[in-house]
Chains A and B, each alone.
Chain A
Amino acid sequence: MDLEETAVKARAFSYFRAARIDQALDAHARAGDEARFIAGGQSLVPALSLRLQAPRLLIDITHIDELRGIRRDGGYLRIGALTRHCEMLSEPLIAEFAPLLHAAAPFVAHPAIRNRGTLGGSVALADPASEFPAMTLALDAEIEIVGPSGRRRVKADDFFIDLFETALQPGELITAIYVPLFKADQRFAFDELARRRGDYALVGCGMLATFTGERIDDIRISFFSVGNTPIRVKGAEATLIGSSLDAERIAAAQGALEGDLAPPESDEVPPAMRLHLARVLLGRLLGRLGEGA
């Protein structure tokens, strides 16, 4: 904590409520560095109050209809950026076609925060301890971005670059997350280790696997709270593809984590402990996956 920045009241700012995407982008383009989009405000407002950020202009995007809604779009579920965390729990389409997000949602903060926080905000912020950004990796999701130079879709694999750094350029908006539809031959598992329910996890993990019988054809495993970004553990994934989930395979996957993860120093959870916890969690989740999770 930086004691030079202990404040409780935000610095003064202007506020603009955008009704359409082009209005939001224009307002941002005019204000440049001095503007921030605000969605649920669950990360931004604390940062403003602590004066960690002090933009001149807040552009409220919560009234832009195009950023809302959940619908099927070809082989994908299109989840609007403004979809709130609580909707991950309540929307039947999420439960059916993106059950991993549904499973992760109860672990994201507490009800009051879930009532306001948005998927787009969570992914845009890319907190390495957050559940949803990591799950976009496990799901092989795509992030739809619109900006002054048009619209594009970026694979989650290419989106998270470094600590709070993503493929999103200043002045660009996330419009939706596209998640490949969950299929009958797939299984998923999610869990996290936290000292208190609702806290950011010591270590968390979600996975999605495609099976033929008991053989894993494909698996994507994503960890959070283990580094500067959410991290796919490709070494561990590789040990599992083509095999079934017996104790030996699981141990091999756990062993591979050492090459996949290099947790940072922290005063409370030493790197070796975090790696240990990641192994334990991976073992438990693969065990559940083997039981048909």
Chain B
Amino acid sequence: MSAPLTSLDRPNSYIGRSVPRPNAKRLLAGRGRYISDLKLPRMLHAAFLRSPHAHAKIASIKADAARAYEGVHLVATGADLAKICTPWTGTLDHFKGMNSAPQWPLPLDRVVWAGQAVVAVVAESRAIAEDALELIDVDYEDLPVVVDIDGAREAGGALVNPGSANNICFRSQLDNGAVDDAFAHAAHVVEEEFSFGRHTAVTLEPRAIVADYDPAAGMLTVHHGTQTPYQFQDLYSRHYNIPEARVRVIATDIGGSFGMKLHVYHEDMAVVGLSILLGRPVKYVADRMESFVSDIHARDHRVRARMALDAKGEILAMDVEDLTAIGAFSTYPRTSVVEGNQVIRLIGAPYRFKNYRATLEVIFQHKVQTSQYRAVGHPIACAVTERLVDMAASKVGLDPFAIRAQNVIPDDAYPQTSPTGYRFEALSHQACLKRLHEIMDYDALRAEQVDLRKRGSYRGIGIATFVEITNPSPAFYGVGGARISSQDGAILSLTPSGEVRCLISVTEQGQGTEAIISQIVADQLGLAQEHVKVVTGDTEVTPHGGATWACRGAGIGGETALQATRALKRNILEIAALILQQQPSALDIVDGEVVDAATRKPRLPIAEIARIAYFRSDTLPPGTQAQLTVSHHFAPQGYPFAFTNGIQGCALEVDVETGLIKLLKHFIVEDCGRVINPMLVEEQLRGGIVQGLGAALFEECRYGDTGQLMNGSLADYLVPMPMEMPDIVIAHVETPTADTVLGAKGVGEAGTAAASACVLNAVNDALMPFDATINSIPITPAKVLKALKRF
């Protein structure tokens, strides 16, 4: 553990402490303000008719009966909305050569995936709108469907967008060092082809939006369940040509997002247009079936990779080819190529070798879009790397811990650059490996495994090291031309009663953003946490910022709050110094009292300073203007990303007759830099691990030959449930970043990054006696039984 930022035993030392989230009680008591529950006066409801075809021409739309249905206010098609909304294209400049077709809220003449919204009905109630949908008759003419990766790449095969040269969205390549040479001289080469199924976020609360256009004021207010209200303020303003200052986006409580609610959805854009056309509030909440066919999906990669090693097990080189299929469009505004890009850049990241080559090909197909979802690219990069490392270990005759200990970048060798070009400030692989070995009681697990095998029960033990990308700078989106901020802003006020209000641009989706911000403010000012009120998620109130994605809330938002608080504290002490006729440097604040810095003797409550400044400024020396509201913005500088690292381990049992896998225990040692609130960090890790375990064993969007999603309901799409989840043991290593005072990095994706890789390794470990291997995620009973040739 690093030294704490402030001494943990003084009053108001909240940084590093497990304090409960102030909003937990409100949410538990059913007092959440979710957009799904929002009712506005004169509000109407939208429902969408969806395409049953994966690819078809829209020959005609007959909607007269729906228009005439009692309670229906508007039936709108793509053409109607295209009159008021400009199209968008999901490309970014720094992804050279990428392309994607323009998108409108509803399609103009062609549908490109099964489930795409085609016609909108707005009515007095959702039920009436759904009644009216049944009266609409759309005449489709089937077009050839592109479903799987191979079909999409076939020369002369069907095209996702007729008229284009091929189905390729983007290609990228990395080539560092002397890869061919390394393979030519390697003592050992391991190689495998991996596949990763599509899955999706399945948030508790589906996507929800209420758009409320007031034609009299020319003002658009959108209540939007999103992580990024500022991004949507900008997009609604530009695509509907409304001045930015007249667009307000409010994101109150959100029932989960995981990256899924970062993206522009056709229905959401349409709802804004419908409200503009009607001059009334319009609400749309995706139902679960709609979520499955319209929320972004993620993953869907096929990776061929090989690794070269010397005779002693030193990794010399990797050579990787990633193919990924992203649906019919690249998502806006963050694109659908970031995942592939991160896959090829994160592979091999924990290790020392320097020779690396990778190609990425991103392909269109007739399915719903894929895009950024928790741990973008990480689980794929981690599974590919870590499985090859395990294969290499068994080839060379090393234990999985030993081969990793031999190859990770040593903790004292930083700064370092990864073989793929990422710059690492300071990571702690060696410390994490050592700690994991202890908390797993690894040798005992191995002994037990040997014992049980003799009795016909097959335990597997797996470990996986990882590197996580956090605290992104403008290098992530800004340089590509996206109006997505990487800085954050905070406005802090001392209230007349001596409390603090903090308006900050990072947002809260249940992860405890507001809790850690209030901890930082209270800690840095010297105030009880309950006297800090944090306000988030309203573009009319909170300053512009990046909000919450890519693990940036604590690292960037937290630093913003820290610096803003220090500025406010300086201002408070300046006034206190005038009143007390002291130097500001001789004073401090503890528990809401200005104290003598040396003796800690209380001098004056800050409430008294506020009272004087706000109501009796006449008693202050002439010329004094108390500044008890400060605003502060912070943009990350220094390293383009604050990388974090860690290692996970797991123990499981494979039933070799049924192919069912029982997870026994999961372990993680994680280094997210400064831990602000251990309880919240552990919540993030546990939740992330469970999501990763879902990917490992259960979650997959399965498609049929004609591009229909086969399992688009919660009866058929399996999410991880408590009965199948193991206990999770957590330990921390702390390596704060020196780029900020706070030193915090991100932690939201670490659990998801390596959990599936860990399980993959453990399953293969369990199957060792059978000469059967698994290289595909999710690991279903069918795959296990196939590998074991049981049917």
Residues of A bordering B, CB below 8 Å = 1-4, 6-12, 50-51, 193, 195-200, 202, 267-270, 272-273, 275-277, 280
- Cβ B780 vs Cβ A267 within 8 A: no
Given known A-B contacts A1-B709, A3-B52, A195-B718, A202 and B657 have beta carbons under 8 A apart? no
The residues of B that contact A4 with a CB separation of less than 8 Å are 52
Asked if B402 CB lies within 8 Å of chain A CBs, one says no
Asked if B739 CB lies within 8 Å of chain A CBs, one says no
Given known A-B contacts A3-B50, A195-B698, A267 and B287 have beta carbons under 8 A apart? no
Given known A-B contacts A1-B708, A2-B52, A197-B724, A276 and B126 have beta carbons under 8 A apart? no
- Cβ A199 vs Cβ B782 within 8 A: no
Partner of B702, one of A196, A202, A267: A267
Given known A-B contacts A7-B133, A8-B126, A50-B289, A276 and B721 have beta carbons under 8 A apart? no
B204 to chain A, nearest CB (A): 15
The residues of A that contact B127 with a CB separation of less than 8 Å are 9-12
**Binary A-proximity of B125-162 (CB < 8 A = 1, otherwise 0):** 11100110110000000000000000000000000000
Partner of B698, one of A9, A12, A196, A277: A196
- Cβ B289 vs Cβ A1 within 8 A: yes
- Cβ A199 vs Cβ B785 within 8 A: no
Partner of B712, one of A1, A51, A269, A280: A1
Pairs A–B under 8 Å by Cβ, sample size 26: A1-B709, A1-B711, A2-B52, A3-B50, A3-B708, A6-B115, A6-B289, A8-B288, A9-B126, A9-B130, A12-B131, A193-B658, A193-B660, A195-B698, A195-B718, A195-B781, A196-B698, A199-B718, A200-B715, A202-B781, A268-B702, A268-B782, A272-B791, A273-B791, A276-B790, A276-B791
- Cβ B658 vs Cβ A277 within 8 A: yes
Partner of A6, one of B290, B711, B718, B785: B290
Given known A-B contacts A1-B712, A6-B289, A273-B791, A11 and B131 have beta carbons under 8 A apart? yes
- Cβ B780 vs Cβ A268 within 8 A: yes
A136 to chain B, nearest CB (A): 23
Partner of A3, one of B293, B702, B711, B791: B293
Measured in the bound complex, the distance between the Cα atoms of B287 and A197 in whole Å is 25
The residues of A that contact B130 with a CB separation of less than 8 Å are 7-9, 51
The residues of B that contact A268 with a CB separation of less than 8 Å are 702, 711, 780, 782
Given known A-B contacts A3-B293, A196-B698, A8 and B287 have beta carbons under 8 A apart? yes
Measured in the bound complex, the distance between the Cα atoms of B721 and A2 in whole Å is 26
Measured in the bound complex, the distance between the Cα atoms of B116 and A183 in whole Å is 59
The residues of B that contact A267 with a CB separation of less than 8 Å are 702, 704, 710
Asked if B713 CB lies within 8 Å of chain A CBs, one says yes
Measured in the bound complex, the distance between the Cα atoms of B724 and A195 in whole Å is 9
> Quick one: closest A residue to B712, CB to CB?
A1
**Binary A-proximity of B275-295 (CB < 8 A = 1, otherwise 0):** 000000000000111100100
Measured in the bound complex, the distance between the Cα atoms of B125 and A12 in whole Å is 12
Asked if B216 CB lies within 8 Å of chain A CBs, one says no
> Quick one: closest B residue to A10, CB to CB?
B127
The residues of A that contact B709 with a CB separation of less than 8 Å are 1
Asked if B723 CB lies within 8 Å of chain A CBs, one says yes
Residue picked from A11, A195, A268, most chain B C-beta under 10 Å: A195
B121 to chain A, nearest CB (A): 12
- Cβ B698 vs Cβ A276 within 8 A: no
Closest 7 CB pairs of A and B: A8-B287, A9-B127, A197-B723, A276-B791, A272-B791, A3-B52, A6-B289
Residues of B bordering A, CB below 8 Å = 47, 50-52, 114-115, 125-127, 130-131, 133-134, 287-290, 293, 657-658, 660, 697-698, 702, 704, 708-713, 715, 718, 721, 723-724, 780-782, 785, 790-791
A109 to chain B, nearest CB (A): 10
Measured in the bound complex, the distance between the Cα atoms of B48 and A6 in whole Å is 9
Measured in the bound complex, the distance between the Cα atoms of B134 and A1 in whole Å is 17
The residues of B that contact A270 with a CB separation of less than 8 Å are 782, 791
B48 to chain A, nearest CB (A): 9
The residues of B that contact A2 with a CB separation of less than 8 Å are 52
B714 to chain A, nearest CB (A): 11
B731 to chain A, nearest CB (A): 29
The residues of B that contact A195 with a CB separation of less than 8 Å are 660, 697-698, 718, 724, 780-781
> Quick one: closest B residue to A195, CB to CB?
B718
The residues of A that contact B782 with a CB separation of less than 8 Å are 268-270, 273
Measured in the bound complex, the distance between the Cα atoms of B30 and A285 in whole Å is 46
> Quick one: closest A residue to B130, CB to CB?
A7
Measured in the bound complex, the distance between the Cα atoms of B595 and A208 in whole Å is 80
Measured in the bound complex, the distance between the Cα atoms of B780 and A50 in whole Å is 29
Measured in the bound complex, the distance between the Cα atoms of B127 and A12 in whole Å is 9
Given known A-B contacts A195-B781, A270-B782, A280-B657, A6 and B791 have beta carbons under 8 A apart? no
B548 to chain A, nearest CB (A): 28
The residues of A that contact B708 with a CB separation of less than 8 Å are 1, 3
> Quick one: closest A residue to B709, CB to CB?
A1
Measured in the bound complex, the distance between the Cα atoms of B131 and A277 in whole Å is 44
The residues of A that contact B293 with a CB separation of less than 8 Å are 3, 6
The residues of B that contact A273 with a CB separation of less than 8 Å are 781-782, 785, 790-791
Given known A-B contacts A3-B50, A3-B293, A4-B52, A276 and B785 have beta carbons under 8 A apart? yes
The residues of B that contact A196 with a CB separation of less than 8 Å are 698, 718, 721, 723-724
- Cβ A6 vs Cβ B50 within 8 A: yes
Measured in the bound complex, the distance between the Cα atoms of B660 and A2 in whole Å is 30
The residues of A that contact B126 with a CB separation of less than 8 Å are 8-9
A10 to chain B, nearest CB (A): 8
Measured in the bound complex, the distance between the Cα atoms of B125 and A8 in whole Å is 12
> Quick one: closest B residue to A276, CB to CB?
B791
Measured in the bound complex, the distance between the Cα atoms of B712 and A199 in whole Å is 16
Measured in the bound complex, the distance between the Cα atoms of B694 and A196 in whole Å is 11
Measured in the bound complex, the distance between the Cα atoms of B780 and A197 in whole Å is 15
- Cβ A198 vs Cβ B721 within 8 A: yes
The residues of B that contact A202 with a CB separation of less than 8 Å are 781
Measured in the bound complex, the distance between the Cα atoms of B46 and A9 in whole Å is 13
The residues of A that contact B791 with a CB separation of less than 8 Å are 270, 272-273, 275-276
A147 to chain B, nearest CB (A): 31
B126 to chain A, nearest CB (A): 5
The residues of B that contact A8 with a CB separation of less than 8 Å are 126, 130, 287-289
Partner of A280, one of B658, B724, B780: B658
The residues of B that contact A10 with a CB separation of less than 8 Å are 127
Question: Known contacts A198-B721, A277-B781; can you find 4 more A-B pairs with CB under 8 A?
Answer: A8-B126, A51-B134, A193-B660, A276-B790
B744 to chain A, nearest CB (A): 36
The residues of B that contact A9 with a CB separation of less than 8 Å are 125-127, 130
The residues of A that contact B660 with a CB separation of less than 8 Å are 193, 195
Measured in the bound complex, the distance between the Cα atoms of B724 and A9 in whole Å is 32
The residues of B that contact A197 with a CB separation of less than 8 Å are 721, 723-724
- Cβ B114 vs Cβ A3 within 8 A: yes
> Quick one: closest A residue to B720, CB to CB?
A196
> Quick one: closest A residue to B722, CB to CB?
A197
> Quick one: closest B residue to A272, CB to CB?
B791
The residues of B that contact A276 with a CB separation of less than 8 Å are 785, 790-791
The residues of A that contact B47 with a CB separation of less than 8 Å are 7
> Quick one: closest A residue to B719, CB to CB?
A196
The residues of A that contact B780 with a CB separation of less than 8 Å are 195, 268
> Quick one: closest A residue to B49, CB to CB?
A4
> Quick one: closest A residue to B126, CB to CB?
A9
> Quick one: closest A residue to B125, CB to CB?
A9
The residues of A that contact B114 with a CB separation of less than 8 Å are 3
The residues of B that contact A12 with a CB separation of less than 8 Å are 127, 131
Measured in the bound complex, the distance between the Cα atoms of B133 and A188 in whole Å is 51
The residues of B that contact A275 with a CB separation of less than 8 Å are 791
The residues of B that contact A51 with a CB separation of less than 8 Å are 130, 134
Measured in the bound complex, the distance between the Cα atoms of B657 and A176 in whole Å is 39
B32 to chain A, nearest CB (A): 21
Measured in the bound complex, the distance between the Cα atoms of B115 and A7 in whole Å is 12
The residues of A that contact B658 with a CB separation of less than 8 Å are 193, 277, 280
The residues of B that contact A269 with a CB separation of less than 8 Å are 782
- Cβ B287 vs Cβ A6 within 8 A: yes
Measured in the bound complex, the distance between the Cα atoms of B392 and A36 in whole Å is 63
